[in-house]
Amino acid sequence: LAKTTQPISMDSYEGQEVNITCSHNNIATNDYITWYQQFPSQGPRFIIQGYKTKVTNEVASLFIPADRKSSTLSLPRVSLSDTAVYYCLVITSGTYKYIFGTGTRLKVLA
């Protein structure tokens, strides 16, 4: 199972774009990359999932380079309500086991 590495914490200001990079050097061919967001006292919430290149939805973009050894979650124009912990996961083909790392604690400042 692929292990992920993320920065422990990041600070940003309201209105800025935030990019959180996750390293997953031993990702396998059929693995997917997924990001979750967690607020205090709540369960994680799905943000976005991708396999390669770029995926965009209404809240975020996910950039995955050709070698797929890393991925970057991009949050456009963050607000105070985006203060949360963000987890990068690699979903391994043939299993249903999510391996959560310790996540990146994002703090958005006014």
Partner 1 sequence: DAGITQSPRHKVTETGTPVTLRCHQTENHRYMYWYRQDPGHGLRLIHYSYGVKDTDKGEVSDGYSVSRSKTEDFLLTLESATSSQTSVYFCAISESSYTDTQYFGPGTRLTVL
Which parts of this chain interact with partner 1 (CB under 8 A)? 32, 34, 41-46, 49, 87, 91-103
The Cα–Cα gap between 107 and 71 comes to 20
Smallest gap, in angstroms, from Cβ of residue 16 to partner 1? 26
Q: Nearer to partner 1 by C-beta: 87 or 108?
A: 87
Smallest gap, in angstroms, from Cβ of residue 68 to partner 1? 15
The Cα–Cα gap between 33 and 49 comes to 6
- Provide the residue count of the chain: 110
The secondary structure element, H or E, covering residue 70 is strand 70-75
Smallest gap, in angstroms, from Cβ of residue 46 to partner 1? 4
